[in-house]
Amino acid sequence: AIQEGTSIDSSMYNLSKGGAYCEFDPTDDVKITVGDLVRLSVPLNDLSKSHALNAKVVWTTKKGRYSGRQGFGLKFINNDEVYRSLLGRLA
């Protein structure tokens, strides 16, 4: 699972209203698993800003179809869903 506060540089290859698909260079200390909560930071270079979105990992692949690196699919979630998911992990 992704450790709290861990930052991963990734490339986004698909973005829709409901989610995104990204690929990254895997490392021994970073494991992404289904159910992980992530905060996706999307740089908007033309505006010199960044936009952050909450998401949950819904699937992973060892070899992505775009770069061949490890990939993961995300479903965007709202703050209430983040809170419920975190509470569920405590139970």
Asked whether the predicted pLDDT for residue 38 surpasses 60, the reply is yes
Q: How confident is the prediction for the chain on average, in pLDDT?
A: 88
Asked whether the predicted pLDDT for residue 69 surpasses 90, the reply is yes
Residue 91 makes CB contacts below 8 A (sequence gap 6+) with: none
2 band by pLDDT with thresholds 50, 70 and 90 = low
On the CB side of 58, CA atoms within 13 Å amount to: 11
Asked whether the predicted pLDDT for residue 1 surpasses 80, the reply is no
**pTM score, two decimals?**
0.81
